[in-house]
Amino acid sequence: MASSSDNALLQELGASMDEIRELLRWWRARQQFVERAEDPRWDTALHTYHIAKPYISMIKRQAEFECTTQTEIINRALQQFFAGSETVDDRHR
């Protein structure tokens, strides 16, 4: 028979499942990004784009929140935007 602390833990885990799944999705996406970033074909380069001012502060805040770089935030957003599209990586295969 499970102890009351085991039951409490199971209830807490059950109540947190959506958050745990969200964290797992984020972690997997981040791991995929890190693995890709180690590929020399995905080296970064400095390039200037005009971006709406609110996005600039949002990118900075998100990078600070995740303790990561603004480059990672921008690349992740572009990866999501271009998901399913042909990428430079696809053309080199």
Residue 87 has pLDDT above 80, yes or no: no
For 53, the token pair is: 């001012």
Determine the pLDDT at residue 33.
76
pLDDT tens profile 30-82: 888 778 778 888 788 899 999 999 999 999 999 999 888 899 899 889 988 98
Show contacts of 54-61: CB within 8 Å, 24+ apart.
none
